[in-house]
Structure 1
Amino acid sequence: MHMKIFMIGGTGLLGSEAAKELIARGHEVTTIARAIPPSDGGMPQEMKVEQGNYLEMTEEELRKKFQGYDGFIFAAGIDERVISTPPVYELYKKHNVYPIRKLLKIAKECGVKHSVICGSYLAYLAKKWPEKELTRWHPYIRSRIDQENAAMEYTDENFNVSVLELPYIFGTQPARN
């Protein structure tokens, strides 16, 4: 089944690899990026890249982006490598939690049926070892658990959401160095 996929984060390490796989399987992928990467930057040539910053776009602008798509992938956000002043959790919420609430609400309203959030294996570890209270001690891990909980609020029989707890993936996309 051919699907049209809208992705946020398609020019990053995770997103570009997901786009390559989706395109190889016959799907159409469109992403938005703050800056259009060079054509030799490791992105799949078949992926449509439009300029835009989802954090700054209005709900109406985002609705226009989601129109006509079957699936949505969120492969953006920030991780613990980002340096910030305390309280750092507020920065993680801004990039990892709040966008999920806004984007999934709009995706669902626009008729998107399938959504995938690229999360972190650290969320898995927090659930596996609750006695370690990882969310209490690490604001990034807390943001990923909060992101997952926010995402699951939108799932129902007409709109499914999956959160991938991706292990040990570090690096940058060559075009974005």
Structure 2
Amino acid sequence: MLDSIINAFLEFKWFMLLNVGLTIAAGVILWFATEQFGYQRKNRYLFAFFMGMKNREILWTGFAWTQMVFVLSCVILGGEMNLVYLVFLLLLVPARFLLYQDIRRLPVDLVNAVLLYLALLVGSVMRDYLKTIRFDSLILLVLILLTLSVLHYTIYNFVKDMLFVTEERSRIHEKRVEE
């Protein structure tokens, strides 16, 4: 039992390293981008996004970042897809639901998690086919297009989640102004 748990964590070692590396890189980029704040500069929008975030907004952003980096690590680094990857993607769904408790988002998040897993699984099968069975340029082209589609879909979902945080904050701000 303990061995299977340790093996599951070891499968995520590259994801964890990539997550830490990309988070540090994004932090440094954001730090330089907001180092000199000015109302006349474009960095005020970036600065305003992070200013005054509540804990649940920070967690929501963290979950969106984690899902994006996880899918990027699966696409870029490859690896054999198994049930642990699906479980990880599905664990993010109830965590996100508990943050905003919007029942309308639950089925969408479940479908997104399953679709991402299936796309990653198909990509993994195609990579294995190209390595072990036969190299075919048409299959390579389909794999490249699938990879680009998964990357595009993941980045779209991340931006959509950031817009959701922005909309929630502006809705709360509008309520305060009305009162």
Which TM-score applies when normalising by structure 1? 0.30
Greater fraction helix:
2
Q: Which has the larger radius of gyration?
A: 2
Q: Give the TM-score normalised by structure 2.
A: 0.30
